[in-house]
Structure formats: C-alpha cells, structure tokens
Amino acid sequence: MANKTVTVKKGDTLSALAKANKTTVAKILAVNPKITNPNLIRVNQKIVIPVGDTKSSTSVKDAAEKARLAALEKQKLQAQAKVDKLNKGNMSSETGADLPKETEEPIIPAGSKIVTDPATLSTTSAQTKDTFSLAQLQAKFSIAASVIAADPSLQEVLNKILGANGEPMIEDPYMQEQLIKGTSWWLNQTDTQRTFEYAKTTNPGQFAADLQLNASEIVKKFAANGLTISAQDAITYAEQMMKQAVIKDGKVVRYDADYINKLMAGAIDFSKNDKIGDRVVYTKLSGNLETLAQSLYKQAWDYGYPQTMSNAGFTNWFETSMKGLVGGTLQPQQVDDALQARAKSFAPGLANLIDQGQTLRQAADPWLQAMATVWETDVDSIDLNDEYVQRALNATDEKGNVAPINLFDAKKMARRSSKWDLTQNAKEEKTRIASRILQDFGFMG
C-alpha cells in the first residue's frame, strides 16, 4: 500500500481526510503512531495517508473491524450513561437551568475534596488504584495543574475522575473527556477564551507584554481618528480582542476589527461643531474623521443635499453617515446611492442624467450657469432649492412630462427674481428705461 503526506488545514479532521482519500481513520492511525488522540490534530501538522491497493484486506479483517467498532460504540454508550449519571450532581451552567440533583449529599465529602493550596493538595479517601493527587499533578504537569487550579469546575471533575468520593477511579478517556465537556469551564467559554485564560495563567509575563502591545495598537487606532481613549478602556478592549469570541447569555459574541470600529463610531464627539447661519457644521473633528467629514460635505453639496433639506434633517444624515462609515455598517456606495435617489426625487427632470452618473449639480450646471449670469453671482452660491431654479429644472408640459426649460427661457425666468433687481445690469437697464421715459415726455433735452 502506497502512502502520501498531507498538511492539515483549518477545519480538517481525521475522518474527513480518511473519507477524502478513500481510507479509514484506523489505517491513518496505523501509519501515524505519533497521533495519540484521533480527535486532536493541528493546523500545518504533517500526516501520512495510506493510499493505493487495498486488496490485501480480507473479508475476515473487515468483519473483525466492524465487530471492533461495534464494541467501541457499545462501550461509548455505556460510558455516556455513566457520565450522564455523574453529571446529575450539582453541575450547572450560566446558560441553562440547574441539572436535576440525584442526591443532596455533596459530590466530594468534607475532608477529601482537592483544594488549590499546594500544602494541602491531596486526597484522603481510600483509593483502589494508584492515582495522582493535584499536588502530584502540580509537580509533574505544572501547566495543566495551574489551569485546573484556576477553575473550580475543573477541580470538581478531577476529583470525580480520581475517585475522591470513594468511588472507583474513572480511567476511560471518553468518559473523562465528556465530564470535562460538562464543566462550566467548557460550556461557558469558547476555544479562544480558553486559550486566552491558558496563556494568562501559564505565561503571565508574555501575556502582560502581549496585552500592553495590543492596548497600544488600539490607542493608536483611536488617535488616528482624532479620538481619545483611557488606558483602562484600551486594556479592556485589548483583552476582548485577545479572547476573539466569548459566550454571553448562551450566545457567541465576537470581538474583531468590526467591534473596534463600532466602538470608535460610538466615541465620535459631535458636540465639537460650529454654526454658519442656522446650519451646524462639524469643523472641529480631526484625523481620519476630519477627512471623512470633508468628503461627506463635498458629496452632499454635489447632490444639493444641505440646501434642499432642513438643518435638523441634514445634521441627522451627517451624523448617521459618519457613524455608519466608521463603524462599518454603511458603505460609501450606499451613501452615494441614497443621495442619487433623493436627487432624482428632487429634480425628476434630470433623473436620466443622474442615472448616467452625474451629480445633481453636474446635471443642473447649464441652467445654473445661465441663471448665475443673469444674477451676476458665482454659480456655486446658487441654492438648488431656490424657487426659480426649481421652476427651471422641473417644468411640466401639457402631457404631464417633467423636464428642464430651455436655457433662453431660464434666463428670462431669472430676471423675474428679486436677485436680478440687485445686479448692476438691472440698475443700468432701469436707468436707461427711466431716461427714455423722461425724454419721451420732454423732461430731458
């Protein structure tokens, strides 16, 4: 039988590898003696996979294998029944009700319970087999012992496994594993939480260094957006990010880049603003937030947004957009799409041009230029919500179609506005008309 070597990827299991290579877990274990736990393989681990001709396997061997697996399954069921019985003690989790108690007596009698004080770590109950006390475990396996000593539910299970209450020691690895998976240490924590606690307990020096580094990175990220954060908050957020995911009220809560972004969005201080006339402007933001605010103002101006809605409405849009873009709940394209939709509603006569990718001001520019010439003003200063601009852009014909008027008529319409009365051309024209009238009546030579 030929062999090949594969590298374990994230999500791989021995059963999946066996199925993919048309072999069995037992055969993989046979050529990989270093694998002692078939349920525990690591990413990037090299594993030999038996492949090729399997004709040497006889029907007798197959039958023996089936019988062996059936016996294992029977043992597993028997072990699970014992685990269920053991777990009917006083074990409970934060996410569910207490399990029914089989007896009111404590699982570990007074005087025989294992405690975390190294001076008193021993079992006083008689043991029928040679066993490790937690003190012995501490001496031989200090890392594992420190993790167990830090969690009461693990200490309780160790006592059960060791038979500290006078019952026989539990040697079956499957039963031991199931007992551990019934602890609050297992049920109320994710794998990344357990890894976090393991590092914190077993290597406090390196853990503290990593925590400080991660907290510093969070402070820098906040500072880049012109936001401040206390040292304690930075450490709290760094711990959460190191845990990656935790279980709260029976649900998995993830701490990732999106989580930090949402924290920053909530930290934006919109009270740092000024007023121009009756409009609020956010001129005191800094860092990346200042750049983002300027971009939003420009985008809104291109679509005539600030001038076509109330100050309160624009303020709400601006703050909501800032929080959404920083927090990652809103994408720039979504902001643009919403502005386009509103612009088409505001100026339906220009909807086709807006659909082609123009902003409202770009689409309206020929009419704005014409009216700016008549009013002798900068085209950028024209309010898109002006009554005469609206009439020029959204004229309705006899068939009910909405379209802009021609540019000549737009100039004529602009002359009807009071803005034209204030222009130099208007003053000169009115002076000429007055002079002609006076001449016609003989008051001027």
Same-domain pairing of 51 and 104:
no
Same-domain pairing of 316 and 417:
yes
Q: How confident is the model at residue 239 (pLDDT cuts 50, 70, 90)?
A: very high
pLDDT tens figures, 351-407: 999 999 899 999 999 999 999 999 999 998 888 888 899 899 999 888 888 899 999
Residue where a domain terminates, one of 213, 245, 267: 267
Same-domain pairing of 207 and 242:
yes
pLDDT, greater one: 72 or 245: 245
Number of neighbouring beta carbons within 10 Å of residue 68:
11
Q: Is the pLDDT at 274 greater than 60, yes or no?
A: yes
Same-domain pairing of 94 and 160:
yes
Q: Is the pLDDT at 110 greater than 50, yes or no?
A: no
Range scoring the smallest mean pLDDT among 188-202, 225-239, 299-313, 360-374: 299-313
277 domain residue, yes or no: no
Same-domain pairing of 175 and 206:
no
Same-domain pairing of 262 and 160:
no
Range scoring the smallest mean pLDDT among 106-115, 309-318, 358-367: 106-115
pLDDT, greater one: 133 or 406: 406
**pTM score of the predicted model:** 0.54
Same-domain pairing of 6 and 46:
yes
73 domain residue, yes or no: no
Q: How confident is the model at residue 242 (pLDDT cuts 50, 70, 90)?
A: very high
Q: Is the pLDDT at 13 greater than 70, yes or no?
A: yes
C-alpha 407/C-alpha 386 separation (Å) is: 17
Residue where a domain terminates, one of 250, 267, 284: 267
In the block, tokens 């000169």 appear at: 428
Q: Hey, CA dihedral for 36, 45, 41, 162, is it positive or negative?
A: positive
Q: CA separation (Å) from 360 to 120, 164, 342?
A: 80, 80, 10
3-class SS of residue 269: coil
15 domain residue, yes or no: yes
Contact 162, 132 (CB under 8 A): yes
Q: What is the DSSP letter of 99?
A: P
443 domain residue, yes or no: no
148 domain residue, yes or no: yes
Q: Is the pLDDT at 212 greater than 70, yes or no?
A: yes
Domains: count for the chain? 4
C-alpha 281/C-alpha 284 separation (Å) is: 9
Tokens for 277, please give them.
């006339």
Same-domain pairing of 256 and 339:
no
442 domain residue, yes or no: no
Same-domain pairing of 178 and 233:
no
| Residue range 20-38: mean pLDDT, rounded | 85
Q: CA-based angle 103:109:114, to the nearest 5?
A: 125
Contact 169, 163 (CB under 8 A): yes
Q: Nearest 10 degrees: CA dihedral of 66, 172, 34, 158? A: 160
List b or e across 163-201, with b for residues whose CB sees 16 or more CB atoms inside 10 angstroms: bbbeeeebebebbbebbeebbbbbbbbbeebeebbbebb
68 domain residue, yes or no: no
Same-domain pairing of 158 and 214:
no
Q: Is the pLDDT at 339 greater than 50, yes or no?
A: yes
Residue where a domain terminates, one of 216, 245, 267: 267
Q: How confident is the model at residue 62 (pLDDT cuts 50, 70, 90)?
A: low
Range scoring the smallest mean pLDDT among 41-45, 240-244, 271-275: 271-275
* Phi, psi for residue 403 in degrees, rounded to 5: -160, 155
Same-domain pairing of 383 and 320:
yes
Percent of the chain with pLDDT over 70: 74
Q: Tell me, what CATH number does 30's domain have?
A: 3.10.350.10
Q: Taking all residues of the chain, what is their mean pLDDT, rounded to a whole number?
A: 78
Same-domain pairing of 177 and 236:
no
Range scoring the smallest mean pLDDT among 44-48, 306-310, 396-400: 306-310
Q: How confident is the model at residue 7 (pLDDT cuts 50, 70, 90)?
A: very high
Domain encompassing residue 263: 196-267
Tokens for 326, please give them.
């920083």
pLDDT at 133: 58
C-alpha 433/C-alpha 426 separation (Å) is: 10
Range scoring the smallest mean pLDDT among 19-28, 79-88, 415-424: 79-88
The string of DSSP letters for 159-203 reads: HHHHTTTSSPP---HHHHHHHHHTSHHHHT--HHHHHHHHHHHH-
Q: Is the pLDDT at 81 greater than 70, yes or no?
A: no
